[in-house]
Amino acid sequence: MARLALITCRFTRCAPVGDARRRLFATASTSPGGGRNGNSNGSGNGSAGAGPTATNSPPPHLDNRVKIVEVGPRDGLQNEKKSIPLATKIDLIERLARTGLSSIEAGAFVSPKWVPQMSNSGQILQHILQRDIPSRTPLTFSFLAPNMTGMNDASAIFARHPTAFETETQRAASAAAGKTTAETTGQASKPAFEIAVFAAATESFSQRNLNCDIATALARFAPVIQAAKDGGLRVRAYISVVLGCPFEGRDVDPHRVAELATDLLEMGADEIALGDTTGMGTAPRTRALLACLRSAGVLPEDLAMHFHDTYGQALVNTAVALEHGIRTFDAAVGGLGGCPYSPGATGNVATEDMVYFLESLGMRTGVDLDAVADIGAWITREVGKPHESSVGKAVIGARSRAGSPETN
């Protein structure tokens, strides 16, 4: 019935089917990964409650807790021409883990010929699984895998460390109990993991980024999603170029985005990350996109926003998404980033700017702004890039004037 409602909605583009979706996923989630009911929103700051089984949390649009997904180690670094040492990447991830960030995108299992900077992602995953990375909050690490070649590479590493991480089901059970697993079991907290697939809203971008059309990409994702679920991992699904494509222009059809989002949710994705890859998004078009998704039955708690700041609109668009009820936002420390297949696109919105902005609105990020400001200054120096975070520079400047300079 729910599937029928979704299909009907796609053609009529009207009636919300949110309740139908909730029922669909409330009954369909039996996979070890916990499926959609296992969606704890991964925040570790208690911003769970997105899932239909969470009874004690307020609806997301009334909740002032926000999850920031730090994408610096992957999206932030993937485009760098100069090879960045493995030790620097691991140092970056470990520093970020100590700031209160609960979710860190750490690498990508993609072709080293296409994106050489990500070629040591296996070593990063291995390191995370072997080390007890100090953090203030339960951590979720994310890795991209666009096909079974990448997923098999990741799975082989997970298989060597079967008890070194929490499954999505374990994490969700703890979140539902209002405790971390460490509090429940009395043992040290283990990280959880997420696999991210990435589709595109236009055929041109899909061809450039994945070397195949959208339908083929979705077909390749299906076994990846299933394998991730079977392995106890959460699944994020990106849709790139939702508000503008470098090859087809700014008028990307929001209905096409909605159709892809519902496809990916039905395939088992726990979350859809909407990528404004080019930074062409504006407030009115962001609002129109989110309204269209809503009418297609895609709920705010299904969504994360991934804004690049090429035109300086990322925080304005964040405000629009907040009003819409979205509580998960991607950002990269120091404003690192850019997509190798999006010419002219600059970095992700800076984590420092995102934290400052959200906290100024009374939202709670759980992130130590001073600490991320220091990391932004450090990592941009390490990779030889300009420090793009206005807030990061201001925080360090103010501290330095007060006699307590940067600590890194």
Active site residues: 339
Q: Which is nearer to ligand HMG, 212 or 283 (CB)?
A: 212
Cβ-proximal residue to ligand HMG, closest one: 275
404 binds ligand HMG (CB under 6 A): no
Q: Is 233 exposed, middle or buried (0-12, 13-18, 19+ CB in 10 A)?
A: buried
Measured from the CB atom, the residue of 49 and 281 that comes closer to ligand HMG is: 281
Closest separation between CB of residue 137 and ligand HMG, Å? 24
Site pattern 95..134 for ligand HMG (x: CB under 6 A):
-------------xxxx--xx-------------------
Question: Closest separation between CB of residue 7 and ligand HMG, Å?
Answer: 27
Pick the binder of ligand HMG from 48, 210, 331, 377 (CB under 6 A): 210
Which neighbouring-strand residues pair with 200?
240
Which residues, 128 to 187, sit near ligand HMG by CB under 6 A? 144, 146-147, 149-150
In sequence order, what DSSP letters do the residues of 379-390 get, joined into one string?
A: HHHHHT-----H
Buried b (16+ CB within 10 A) or exposed e, 21-41: bbebbeeebebebbbbbbbbb
Quick one: which of 25, 143, 158, 198 contacts ligand HMG (CB under 6 A)? 198
239, β-bridge pairs: 199, 274
For residues 328 and 351, what is the distance between their CA atoms, to the nearest angstrom? 13
C-beta of 95: minimal distance to ligand HMG in Å?
21
User: Do residues 363 and 322 touch, judged by C-beta distance below 8 A?
Assistant: yes
Task: Tell me the one-letter amino acid at 284.
Answer: P
Q: Is 209 in the site for ligand HMG (CB under 6 A)?
A: yes
User: By CB under 6 A, what part of segment 223-242 binds ligand HMG?
Assistant: 238, 240
Nearer to ligand HMG, 272 or 322 (CB): 272
For 35, the enclosing helix (H) or strand (E) is none
- Cβ atoms 42, 103 nearer than 8 A: yes
| 385 lies in the binding site for ligand HMG (CB under 6 A) | no
Residue ranges with strand state E in 110-205: 140-144, 192-200
- Asked if 212 and 17 count as a contact pair (C-beta separation under 8 A), the reply is no
Name the residue with tokens 């609002």: 287
- Which is nearer to ligand HMG, 137 or 240 (by Cβ)? 240
306 binds ligand HMG (CB under 6 A): yes
| Binding residues for ligand HMG (CB under 6 A) | 75, 78, 108-111, 114-115, 144, 146-147, 149-150, 198, 209-211, 238, 240, 275, 277, 306, 339-341
